[in-house]
Amino acid sequence: MTAEQSDATWARAFRGDLSGIVGKHLIYAYDNGWKYELYVRNSHMTEFRCLMGPNFGRWSTEQPAKIVQLSGDQYKLAWVEPTGTTVIIITWLSQRRVHTTICYPQWMLDYPEFTMVRYEDNLDEILTARDRGPVYPLTLVASTGRITFLESQATDDDTVIDCPPSKLPPGYADRIN
């Protein structure tokens, strides 16, 4: 069985009903004031932007992800960024809560300036910095936050996350609904 066939088998057996999360666009805030934006582009891809916090400026529009329904409107999204960062987000849409676990490689803490960009536009530089390392020690961060903005968008909409956080209008990260 090829990796592609294995992934397709896994998807059918374990992903559940993703119709409640695909197309969702949300902004969530942590107690420490950091804010992130997430768009679930389709059943296997997310987009994100860091809107406030020390990672401000980081964004991606082509992030492959594993997405599963845990139960009802509870979903888990997981991905590994080109930086080597592992991200796992659990969302409870009706409760408007998120729980995020992130594992940062050491080089990102030492040289964050390489990642305050759109990943896809700077992939060669990011990969060079990642490969230079160091990877260890890894820093594990777990945070719980609240969803402050939630809306439904069409799938694969290139206009949802289409510019760096620095180009967003004033008050964008503070929208609530």
pLDDT tens-digit readout, 86-97: 999 999 999 999
Contact 82, 130 (CB under 8 A): yes
Identified catalytic residue from 28, 39, 81, 104: 81
What pLDDT, on a 0 to 100 scale, did the predictor assign at position 113? 87
3-class DSSP state for residue 127?
helix
Higher pLDDT, 9 or 60: 60
The residue-averaged pLDDT of 13-31 equals 93
Sign of CA dihedral 158, 162, 100, 84: positive
Residue boundaries of the structural domains of the chain: 3-103+142-155
CA distance 162 to 167: 10
Stated length of the chain: 177
* 10 pLDDT above the threshold of 60: no
**What was the pLDDT predicted at 106?**
94
Question: What pLDDT score does 44 carry?
Answer: 96
pLDDT digits over 129-177, tens only?
999 999 999 999 999 999 999 999 999 999 999 999 999 999 999 999 9
Task: Report angle CA 13, 14, 15 to the nearest 5 degrees.
Answer: 115
3-103+142-155 placed in CATH 2.40.128.20: yes
36 is catalytic: yes
Q: Which of 36, 75, 104, 119 is catalytic?
A: 36
